[in-house]
Amino acid sequence: MTVRVLVVDDSGFFRRRVVAILDADPGIEVVGQAANGREAVVEALKLKPDVITMDIEMPVMDGITAVRHIMARRPVPVLMFSSLTHEGAQATLDALDAGAADFLPKRFEDIAGDREEALRVLRRRVRTLGLRHARGGAVGTPVSARTPRGPVPSRAATAPGTAPATAPAHGVRMPRAPAFRLQDFRIVLIGTSTGGPVALQKVLTALPVNFPLPLLLVQHMPASFTPAFAQRLDGLCAIRVKEAADGDGLEPGLALLAPGGRQTVLESRAGKIRVHIVDGDPDQHYRPCVDVSFQSVAPVFGRQVLAIIMTGMGADGRDGVRLLKDKGAQVWTQDEASCVVFGMPAAVAEAGLSDRVLPVDEIGTLLARGVGHA
């Protein structure tokens, strides 16, 4: 099936480029264009696209306001085109808050050094978001049960919240969830990508100020975005959140966010556990990379690790989780229904590495409940 896309940008030049890039993919059909936010909302309602690509800065109505309107009326995955600036980060995070599913840098060079690769990434993102939506998957913040098109495939039919540990239907070996006690752990690791900013916000805002463990967050994000994201989470959460800096120590109730563009690892030297920010392997696709960070934690904390993999495209985190799992760590993954993209959690779950599969809201509440029992 083809993914139907609405392209929104006030620049005709940019619209035509995006349309040409997307139309070159047989799996994608551009069904409409809009030159400002207001047109975008109108066209979204009229055309019922599977995905919308959205510019932020537009006359009449900006992209963020448009996302808000669209999410309120007819939720659909929105892919924002962002500037990789501090302002761009704020605006993008606002857009994600408003319900946008994902973002890509507006300068394709920032997506990937190679132009062709950048275009492939763009097409893949649009396809993934669109197919998921067309199948009735979750969209952005207002997780809607509405299914606009056709009968719902059974595996996506489970409404969030009805069963905390929904068994995936496609032959994944579902282990019995081991007992969960916070005091068994010395750190919580969370790895996430597409849809992660909102998911992280949901989980972290659920945690009380006296949360007893340090957290390390690895979210795929450009370097210019992570400071703004950390700052925003810090403002929203009871616990403290900061962008990790080289030499940082771990503290209870402090979440360190791996900075973009580099790798964040834990090291234990002379009894002191410190965060190190390193350039890492230049071949490594993701910066920060969930695998790199998680693998570095294994020798430091062994089995006393709770590793959580949430929404995201691809399979980053699976290898890191495997190493942790070998040491006896516990692994949670987000369920398909509440994921914007069920890629990374699926990779972990399908490898049989997940101890619990949870909707995003449950992850937060379960962690918070652990505090009470501690």
Does the footprint of another protein cover residue 328 (CB under 8 A)? no
Active site residue 83: no
Q: For the beta carbon of residue 285, count every other beta carbon within 10 angstroms.
A: 11
Token code pair at residue 350 = 């399908």
**Residue among 6, 7, 54, 58 that touches another protein (CB under 8 A):** 58
Q: Report the amino acid identity of residue 84.
A: L
Shorter beta-carbon distance to another protein: residue 33 or 194: 33
Active site residue 268: no
> In Å, how far are 62, 310, 337, 365 from 135, measured between CA atoms?
29, 20, 11, 28
**Residue among 53, 65, 201, 296 that touches another protein (CB under 8 A):** 65
Active site residue 220: yes
Shorter beta-carbon distance to another protein: residue 108 or 286: 108
Taking alpha carbons only, the member of 257, 326, 314, 327 closest to residue 285 is 314
Buried b (16+ CB within 10 A) or exposed e, 327-341: eebbbbbbbbbbbbb
State the Cα–Cα distance between residues 115 and 99, nearest whole angstrom: 29
Does the footprint of another protein cover residue 57 (CB under 8 A)? yes
Structural contact between residues 67 and 38, judged by C-beta atoms closer than 8 angstroms: no
Minimal distance in Å, beta carbon 159 to another protein? 23
Q: Which of residues 96-135 bind another protein (CB under 8 A)?
A: 106-109
Token code pair at residue 374 = 């501690």
State the Cα–Cα distance between residues 90 and 241, nearest whole angstrom: 16
Structural contact between residues 9 and 55, judged by C-beta atoms closer than 8 angstroms: yes
Does the footprint of another protein cover residue 10 (CB under 8 A)? yes
Minimal distance in Å, beta carbon 14 to another protein? 6
Shorter beta-carbon distance to another protein: residue 19 or 182: 19
Q: Which of residues 162-191 bind another protein (CB under 8 A)?
A: none
Q: For the beta carbon of residue 184, count every other beta carbon within 10 angstroms.
A: 15
**Residue among 2, 23, 31, 38 that touches another protein (CB under 8 A):** 38
Active-site positions read 193, 220, 316
Binding site residues, another protein, CB under 8 A: 10-14, 16-17, 33-39, 41-42, 45-46, 48, 57-62, 65, 69, 73-74, 83, 87, 106-109
